[in-house]
Amino acid sequence: MKVTFVADKPASSGCAVIPVKKSLKTAGAASDYVGESNGQFKKAAKAANFNGEKGKSFSIFAPAGSEASRLVAVGIGDGKEFDSELFGAKIAKSLMMGESAITLHLGGMDVSPDAAARAAVGMRLAAYRFDKYRTKLPANKKPVLKTIKIACDEPAKARASYNKYHGPVCDGTVLARDLVNEPPNVIYPKAYAARIKELETLGLKVQILGEKRMKSLGMNSLLCVGQGSVRESQMVIITWNGGKKGDKPACIVGKGVTFDTGGISLKPGANMWDMKGDMGGSAAVVGAMAGLAARKAKANVVGIVGLVENMPDGNAVLPGDIITSMSGQTIEVQNTDAEGRLVLADCLHYASTKIKPKAMINLATLTGAILVALGTERAGVFSNNDKLAGQIANASETTKEKTWRLPIGPEYDRLLDSPNADMKNIGGRLAGSITAAQFLQRFVGKGIPWAHIDVAGTAMKPSNRHDPRETTFGTGFGARLLNRWIADNFEG
């Protein structure tokens, strides 16, 4: 997709989109179109029973006096709470099948350069498709949109905002979506690690640990999850040093179960294919790291992803097995389907002891229970630190990747006690998302501000989605949130 920012003048070709307020009020170039149309606009609006109501639209083909091939008027009501990103997304969604070039006019309506840049992001996210394996898709089902022009008041500033921040961050979200959408026979641990290795071209350092290396480090908790799979488990450490030398890094950690059958505690068959998305947390981390590097973020950040495939097999970990994690703590694996926490346990301990971050956030499609609690609208946040939780709430507010904080505490932690080992990996029927968070917290180093974001409801979405920015199963949720968190708190 080609994205440019231009001065707000009537377009010389293609499809022009103009926002129209109630009573047909317009501003900037939109007013020029209306003026030049010799009353044609008002007549057409009347015929379409359009008065600038929010969400309504109508179009005129080749309006007299303008060089655009088509003019689309989109109602924005009273114009208050105008969300440029959502506006761009809705426009791309409705026009991308028929228009190859769209000029979106946002002049004269108090849209900041940042908001103008985000209009382009909304359009890109709404135009995202994952059609690479569809060989028989008819031409009229393929988007033809190739060029986006944002016509605004301060195009140079908007362009700078897009090139320096929103564009590369959006690239990261697209990467995260691609990774989640890819099938499990394409994105399995080694193939996934190889894909991450390719990101070194962006200036990232990528270190891959195989099973041998992890064994010698004592990562039996992560390894036991992949032990029933013929595919070798991997841990990938991605480093971006854009900050001051010697400055302690922030750390982001992701669950990368490339397929979760449940293992011996096998999941039911219906919808099991969804579990190709059980690496959504790691995809957000990888997408975020790519975004940080592409925009040359002035911060030191380490991304860690644990990549495994959870399979039933003669060699698989059994319910009842007791394993010793890298931290030395022993775990009774009562349910092999509670595998994400086993993977993250060693990742979090590795991060705590080897990276010693100043703050650490992990993302994981960890529990079905978070869907019961929050649905697919918000991810659950669990944290040992109010300041960090506040930072996440702020980043969440600006990126519209919505979250909600839930409690943790010793009274929940007790539910993990086991008579046979230091802990068991399930807490029982109640408070399932919280006990999962308690489990993770046991592997976080003392004094490290930490948060766990359960993205089981937001990283993969059902087909009845309503947000025009989310077009496929993989949403890329988290990549933008993490970039915002770093930008707001670590880039001075």
Of 267-296, which residues contact ligand BES (CB under 6 A)? 278
**257 is an interface residue for Zn ion by CB under 5 A:** yes
Other CB atoms within 10 Å distance of the CB of residue 420: 11
**436 is an interface residue for Zn ion by CB under 5 A:** no
Segment lying near Mn ion (by CB under 5 A), choices 64-72, 114-122, 174-182, 259-267: 259-267
Active-site entry in 341, 442, 469, 484: 341
Residues contacting Zn ion: total by CB under 5 A: 4
Q: Residue 261 or residue 391: which is nearer to Zn ion going by CB?
A: 261
**454 is an interface residue for Mn ion by CB under 5 A:** no
CB of 108 to ligand BES, least distance (A): 45
**258 is an interface residue for ligand BES by CB under 6 A:** no
Q: Residue 166 or residue 276: which is nearer to Mn ion going by CB?
A: 276
**432 is an interface residue for ligand BES by CB under 6 A:** yes
Chain position carrying tokens 């579990």? 275
Q: Residue 145 or residue 460: which is nearer to Mn ion going by CB?
A: 460
Segment lying near ligand BES (by CB under 6 A), choices 6-14, 363-371, 382-390, 466-474: 363-371
Segment lying near Zn ion (by CB under 5 A), choices 70-78, 154-162, 334-342, 477-485: 334-342
Segment lying near ligand BES (by CB under 6 A), choices 49-57, 244-252, 336-344, 440-448: 336-344
Of 48-77, which residues contact ligand BES (CB under 6 A)? none
Contact predicate 254/285, CB 8 Å: yes
| Tokens coding 450 | 């930490």
Residues contacting ligand BES: total by CB under 6 A: 14
CB of 339 to ligand BES, least distance (A): 5
CB of 340 to Mn ion, least distance (A): 6
**260 is an interface residue for Zn ion by CB under 5 A:** yes
Using alpha carbons, select from 180, 300, 190 the residue that is nearest to residue 239. Answer: 300
Contact predicate 267/337, CB 8 Å: yes
129 part of the active site? no
| 3 binding partner (options Zn ion, ligand BES, Mn ion, none; Cβ < 5 to 8 Å by kind) | none
Sheet with 101-105: strands ordered across: 2-7, 147-152, 101-105, 15-20, 70-75, 57-61
Of 333-372, which residues contact Mn ion (CB under 5 A)? 337, 339
Q: Residue 187 or residue 338: which is nearer to ligand BES going by CB?
A: 338
CB of 492 to ligand BES, least distance (A): 37
Q: Using CB under 6 A, pick the residue from 344, 355, 369, 448 that binds ligand BES.
A: 369
Half-sphere exposure of 337 (CA within 13 A, CB side): 13
**489 is an interface residue for ligand BES by CB under 6 A:** no
Q: Residue 116 or residue 426: which is nearer to Mn ion going by CB?
A: 426
Spell out the SS3 assignment of the chain.
CEEEEEECCCCCCCEEEEEEEHHHECCHHHHHHHHHCCCHHHHHHHHCCCCCCCCCEEEEECCCCCCCCEEEEEECCCCCCCCHHHHHHHHHHHHCCCCCEEEEECCCCCCCHHHHHHHHHHHHHHHCCCCCCCCCCCHHHCCCCCEEEEEECCHHHHHHHHHHHHHHHHHHHHHHHHHHHCCCCCCCHHHHHHHHHHHHHHCCEEEEECHHHHHHHCCHHHHHHHCCCCCCCEEEEEEEECCCCCCCCEEEEEEEEEEECCCCCCCCCCCHHHHHHCCHHHHHHHHHHHHHHHCCCCCEEEEEEEEEEECCCCCCCCCCCEEECCCCCEEECCCCCCCHHHHHHHHHHHHHHHHCCCEEEEEECCCCHHHHHHCCCCEEEEECCHHHHHHHHHHHHHHCCCEEECCCCHHHHHHHCCCCCCEECCCCCCCHHHHHHHHHHCCCCCCCCEEEEECCCCCECCCCCCCCCCCCCECCCCHHHHHHHHHHHHCC
Q: Using CB under 6 A, pick the residue from 8, 153, 178, 337 that binds ligand BES.
A: 337
25 part of the active site? no
**338 is an interface residue for ligand BES by CB under 6 A:** yes
**456 is an interface residue for ligand BES by CB under 6 A:** yes
Active-site entry in 22, 56, 190, 267: 267
Q: Using CB under 6 A, pick the residue from 51, 239, 329, 335 that binds ligand BES.
A: 335
Of 398-427, which residues contact ligand BES (CB under 6 A)? 426
Chain position carrying tokens 């766990």? 452
Q: Residue 181 or residue 391: which is nearer to Zn ion going by CB?
A: 181
Contact predicate 193/303, CB 8 Å: no
Q: Residue 158 or residue 308: which is nearer to ligand BES going by CB?
A: 308
Q: Using CB under 5 A, pick the residue from 8, 260, 309, 413 that binds Mn ion.
A: 260
CB of 63 to ligand BES, least distance (A): 49
Q: Using CB under 6 A, pick the residue from 365, 396, 441, 471 that binds ligand BES.
A: 365
| Residue whose CB is nearest to ligand BES in the complex, by number | 368
What contacts 434, CB < 8 A, 6 or more positions away?
382, 406, 407, 408, 412, 427
Segment lying near ligand BES (by CB under 6 A), choices 36-44, 126-134, 228-236, 330-338: 330-338
List of residues contacting Zn ion (CB under 5 A): 257, 260, 278, 340
List of residues contacting ligand BES (CB under 6 A): 260, 278, 335, 337-340, 365, 367-369, 426, 432, 456
Catalytic residues: 267, 341
